[in-house]
Amino acid sequence: MKLIECPRDAMQGLPEFIPTAKKIAYLNALLRVGFDTLDFGSFVSPKAIPQLRDTAEVLAGLDLTATRTQLLAIVANLRGAQTAAEFPAIQYLGFPLSVSETFQLRNTNKTMAEAMAELGEIQNVCMQRGKTLVTYLSMGFGNPYGDPWGPEVVAEFTHALAAMDVRIVALSDTVGVSSPALITPLFRQLIPAFPQVEFGAHLHTTPDTWREKVEAAYAAGCRRFDGAIGGIGGCPMAADTLTGNMPTEHLIAYFEEQGVALAIEQLALAEARSAASKLFHFALPA
């Protein structure tokens, strides 16, 4: 089981800039928890995502001396990938590839065809620089724009990615439209069809639907899950009202119920949750 903590997704839509020193302190707390990967920042236009304009400075302040957690940075174009690849500490580059033409234009100002072509160039950078590309299939469970969607569309995109030797594909429920009726058959179709690909679930959710979504993906064989402590965040390019991230606490509790062994340091997790509640201004459960 791989748990990917996504403070980048939690922070990116916040209107008030979080000071760099506070970001560093929070991320260092997360690095002590034992997550497989930390989606910590992005190398995108500061005009598009001003909250993350200090990603390079944040990276310089991280303590990576005693963590098993690897770092992932989001990029939206070749230039961003080339910049991110310069940092030895970054293992994964994440690229949002939408199965919705409307959202691809909103998110990266590119058509799907243009984004796919650029993805190929980014994959070349990754292979040359010893990085691993993680492709997020945004709007992977449907979209609110009326753009064509179906399991066959997602499979077609995955086939193209597999042909590029992309090894990690995260199906992304960008606006929380997924349901078990969509999640289970999609993962059950894709996982055996592409055994060389590691599939992940990046599920945005409302408080009352998180469990059914996790159960559906897990039952279908997914073993890579993205979350954010407190369920904070959402995609600022997707909608005016953000649908929250999957709460990491819920993921951990669910998998512990299932008897799944997780390499999580509980004391460090409690400290990170306390830090998150102060940084994002939410109350911890009693």
Is 80 exceeded by the pLDDT of residue 236?
Answer: no
At 208 the pLDDT is 87
Which residue intervals of 194-265 are DSSP H helices? 210-219, 248-257
Banded model confidence at residue 244, pLDDT cuts 50, 70, 90: confident
**38-56 pLDDT per residue, tens:** 999 999 999 989 999 999 9
The pLDDT score that the predictor gives to residue 265 is 96
pLDDT tens for residues 75-113?
999 999 999 999 999 999 999 999 999 988 988 888 889
Q: Which among 49, 52, 48 is positioned nearest to 39, based on CA atoms?
A: 52
Smallest Cα–Cα separation from 69: which of 44, 99, 39, 93? 39
User: Model confidence over 28-37: pLDDT tens digits?
Assistant: 999 999 999 9
pLDDT at 128 over 90: yes
pLDDT of residue 165: 97
Instruction: Provide the mean pLDDT of the chain.
Output: 92
Least confident of 117-121, 142-146, 225-229: 142-146
Question: Which of these ranges, 2-6, 16-20, 104-108, 218-222, has the smallest mean pLDDT?
Answer: 104-108
First to last CA, the chain: 28
pLDDT digit string, tens, across residues 267-285: 999 999 999 999 998 777 6
Of the candidates 192, 264, 259, the one whose C-alpha atom is nearest the C-alpha of residue 227 is: 264
Q: Is a pLDDT exceeding 60 seen at residue 260? A: yes
pLDDT in tens, 107-116: 888 888 999 9
Count of alpha carbons within 13 Å of 147, Cβ hemisphere only?
20
Alpha helices by DSSP H, listed for the chain, are 7-11, 20-31, 55-60, 78-84, 101-108, 112-129, 151-163, 180-193, 210-219, 248-257, 266-280
The C-alpha atoms of residue 210 and residue 179 are separated, in whole angstroms, by 10
* Tens digit of each residue's pLDDT (9 = 90 or more) over 160-173: 999 999 999 999 99
Domains of the chain: 2-280 (3.20.20.70)
Assess whether pLDDT exceeds 70 at residue 210: yes
DSSP 8-state class, residue 143? -
Query: pLDDT-derived band of residue 239, with 50, 70 and 90 as boundaries?
Result: very low
Question: What angle do helix axes 151-163 and 180-193 make, rounded to 10 degrees?
Answer: 30
CA 89 to chain centre: 18
